[in-house]
Amino acid sequence: MSHSFNPTILREYDIRGIIGETLGPDDARAIGKVFGSMLAEAGGKRVAVGYDGRVSSPMLEHALVEGLSAVGLDVVRVGMGPTPMLYYAEASADDVDGGIQITGSHNPANYNGFKMVFQGRPFFGADIQELGRRSAAGEWRDGTGSVEARDVMEAYVAKMLAALDGIDPARLEGVRIGWDAGNGAAGPALERLVADLPGEHHLLYTEVDGNFPNHHPDPTVEANLADLRALVAEKSLDFGIAFDGDGDRIGAIDGEGRVIWGDQLLMIYAEDLLAKRKGATIIADVKASRALFDHVAAHGGQPLMWKTGHSLIKSKMKEVSSPLAGEMSGHVFFADEYYGFDDALYAGVRLIAASARLGRSVTELRGAMPAMVNTPELRFQVDESRKFAAIEEIAARIAASDAVANTTDGVRVTTDDGWWLLRASNTQDVLVARAESDKQEGLDRLVAQIDEQLALSGLERGESVGH
């Protein structure tokens, strides 16, 4: 027996497809068999499985558990919850060697997929390609594993609450926060968390509904923050926090309704952390503002610009022993007093903690940031066979000029006006561009340079496309 996947679902960081079209229970069963075999060969015996609130998730979970146990792996079912709860189940239990979360993240309701952890590290890139190869060749073991249910939510919430230990309770009591779970998988865990948090909390859309009836669960799109912004304004709250569909990406607004983007949140977290861990390396992806890297350095940290992608960031954190990292997309990773994975609920608690320790409101912290003028993330279609070649051409031209460039991930060029970035997406047939300056005229010149480089490679920016 063997199983061939639709090639479009084997992505760089995870497996993701459209239910009934490119992804179904047979795929889930095969993933279980091959992942389980690979884990067993590496000495693993037990794997944790969780799932998000999508309509298709229980079906896929059932088939995945079948596949894992059919190759001799023991399965710990942690049930429905956010992806970081599954990560917690894997990281905190001595008897668990790997984990798989069934989730479509922030994709539309008809999508679903799998995020995987293998003996404490992300399972991505070449791992996923090897999984596909082995499945097509039918390379899996035979065996009979056990299946047990394990409730980890109480322990997970208790671990998050520990982030407030040691803070003067008087600094925490008056805080007033709005939360928007977006009908995603974080809802029940959020309800449990705020029950024990100090202060006053107002919740939106904590009922899990895989059809996402109120708004799409992607907090990096400003339109999806409208209800949270209205709640903060109506109740005069200190700030608001939103989650994506599986709770591993955070969005935030301050008390004045201003968005606090991923790199700006990282500025707050870094200032708090560096007060006790001088010299620590703080990682951010190539799309992050120059203001963040300057802020880290100004507070005694070592800023490190790295490749976009949660699996790539997590791997780099381990390599350089970084206690904190983040991406523009709202993934924030704490290895300081935590496990190094991306957890938006925990990041919410750490925002409360940072504000209390720094003695300034989140609105004050946001207001103190330099006013930069930047583009949103611009994404435009390029043929799959052309996207990496085009970036190489652009990098070669920049290298031949006297421009200052960072080629960690694509090409990020720094000029007197600011910086611009062009990179190839690892998951779609698009190029991604971004530019930032301290004034509009400078931004216009930077965007013109992007257009010039694209034109020299026979491309044009055209209409920006969505995720």
User: What angle, rounded to 10 degrees, do the helices at 344-358 and 153-161 form?
Assistant: 20
Q: Is 105 a catalytic residue?
A: yes
How distant is the alpha carbon of residue 236 from its chain centre? 29
Cα→Cα distances 280→15, 316, 322, Å: 33, 14, 7
Residue 462 neighbours by CB distance under 10 Å: 11
Strands 430-437 and 418-424: antiparallel
Tokens of 50: 């969780």
Q: What is the DSSP letter of 162?
A: G
Residue 282: what are its φ and ψ, rounded to 5°? Answer: -110, 125
Q: What is the CA radius of gyration of the chain?
A: 22
Give yes or no for a contact between 12 and 308, defined as CB atoms under 8 angstroms apart: no
Residue 394: what are its φ and ψ, rounded to 5°? Answer: -65, -45
With H, G, I as helix, E, B as strand and everything else as coil, classify residue 350.
Answer: helix
Task: Give me the amino acid identity at 378.
Answer: L
Number of H helices, E strands in the chain: 15, 22
Rounded CA-CA distance 251/184 in Å is 14
- Closest among 306, 302, 266 to 410, alpha carbons compared: 306
- Closest among 451, 445, 448 to 431, alpha carbons compared: 451
User: What angle, rounded to 10 degrees, do the helices at 25-41 and 126-137 form?
Assistant: 110
Angle at 330 between CA 445 and CA 198, to 5 degrees: 135
- Closest among 95, 89, 104, 203 to 157, alpha carbons compared: 89
Rounded CA-CA distance 190/221 in Å is 21
Give yes or no for a contact between 232 and 240, defined as CB atoms under 8 angstroms apart: yes
310-313 long-range contacts, Cβ below 8 Å, gap at least 24?
Answer: 310/13, 310/122, 310/248, 310/342, 311/12, 311/13, 311/122, 311/124, 311/125, 312/124, 313/283, 313/285
Q: Single out the catalytic residue among 37, 56, 69, 105.
A: 105
Residues belonging to the active site:
105
